[in-house]
C-alpha cells in the first residue's frame, strides 16, 4: 500500500491577511459611524456580521495552521462569509438604486391600512436611516458599493488561497 502524501502546507500569511482585511473593513465601518457621523441602516449593519465571522474563522485557521487540511476548510468558510457580505452589499446597492424594493422595515414604508396603535408602533420601531437612501458616495459609488467591491474579491481570493495546492520544491 502506498503511503498517503501529507497535505500541502498553508502559508501563515493567508489567515493573517484574511483577519486583517476583515478587521480593516469593520474598522472603516465603525470609523464612518462614530467619527464620521454616518448612522448605518439595517442592511449596513447586516453587512458587518460576516466580517466578524471571518475574523473568528481566520483566528481559528491560525490556530490550526499546523493542520493544513483543517485550516484550509476553516478558510473556505471565511471566504464564504466574505462573499455573504458581498451578497448583502449587492442587494443593498440594488435597493439604493431602486432596482428592487428593500425590506419594509428598512425602507421606512408605512402601511396606512393599519390601526392607529399598530401604525404608531411601526413608526417608533422604524430605523431612522432608510436603506434606499445614499448618505455618502464617492465617484458615484455608495458605501455598500465599496463594500461589494472589497468583500467580493476578498472572499474570492480567500477561497482561491484556501483551495489551491502549492507545488512542493
CA distance 114 to 122: 10
How far CA 76 is from CA of 8, 53, 150, in Å, comes to 16, 12, 17
- Condensed to tens digits (0 to 9), the pLDDT of residues 106-138 reads 755 556 677 778 777 766 766 567 887 878 778
Angle at 14 between CA 19 and CA 165, to 5 degrees: 150
pLDDT for 126 equals: 60
Q: Residue 57 CB: number of other CB atoms within 10 A?
A: 25
Residue 25 reports pLDDT greater than 80 = yes
Q: Which of 29-33, 52-56, 126-130 has the weakest average pLDDT?
A: 126-130
What sign has the CA pseudo-torsion 102, 104, 107, 112? positive
Note the Cα 83 to chain centre separation in Å: 7
CA distance 87 to 93: 10
Strand partners, 138: 141
C-alpha cell at 130: 432608510
pLDDT for 128 equals: 66
Domains and CATH numbers, the chain: 13-102+132-163 (1.20.1550)
- The more confidently predicted of residues 7 and 163 is 163
Residue 3 reports pLDDT greater than 60 = no
What sign has the CA pseudo-torsion 60, 61, 64, 69? positive
Q: Sorting pLDDT into bands at 50, 70 and 90, what band is 53? A: very high
Please give the mean pLDDT across all residues of the chain.
Answer: 86
**Spatial CB neighbours of 27, under 8 Å, sequence gap ≥ 6:** none
Model's pTM, two decimal places? 0.80
Reduced to 3 states (helix: H, G, I; strand: E, B; else coil), residue 103 is: coil
How far CA 135 is from CA of 18, 79, 96, 141, in Å, comes to 28, 29, 10, 11
pLDDT for 127 equals: 54
Amino acid at each position: 500500500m502506498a503511503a498517503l502524501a501529507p497535505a500541502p502546507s498553508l502559508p501563515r500569511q493567508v489567515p493573517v491577511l484574511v483577519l486583517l482585511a476583515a478587521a480593516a473593513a469593520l474598522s472603516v465601518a465603525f470609523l464612518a459611524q462614530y467619527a464620521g457621523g454616518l448612522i448605518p441602516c439595517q442592511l449596513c449593519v447586516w453587512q458587518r456580521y460576516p466580517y466578524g465571522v471571518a475574523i473568528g474563522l481566520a483566528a481559528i485557521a491560525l490556530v490550526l495552521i499546523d493542520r493544513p487540511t483543517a485550516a484550509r476548510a476553516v478558510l473556505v468558510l471565511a471566504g464564504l462569509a466574505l462573499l455573504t457580505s458581498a451578497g448583502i452589499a449587492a442587494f443593498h446597492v440594488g435597493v439604493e438604486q431602486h432596482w428592487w424594493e428593500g425590506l419594509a422595515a428598512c425602507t421606512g414604508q408605512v402601511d396606512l391600512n393599519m390601526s392607529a396603535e399598530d401604525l404608531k408602533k411601526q413608526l417608533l420601531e422604524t430605523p431612522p436611516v432608510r436603506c434606499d437612501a445614499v448618505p455618502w458616495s464617492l465617484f458615484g459609488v455608495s458605501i455598500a458599493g465599496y463594500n461589494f467591491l472589497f468583500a467580493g474579491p476578498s472572499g474570492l481570493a480567500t477561497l482561491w488561497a484556501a483551495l489551491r495546492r502549492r507545488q512542493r520544491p
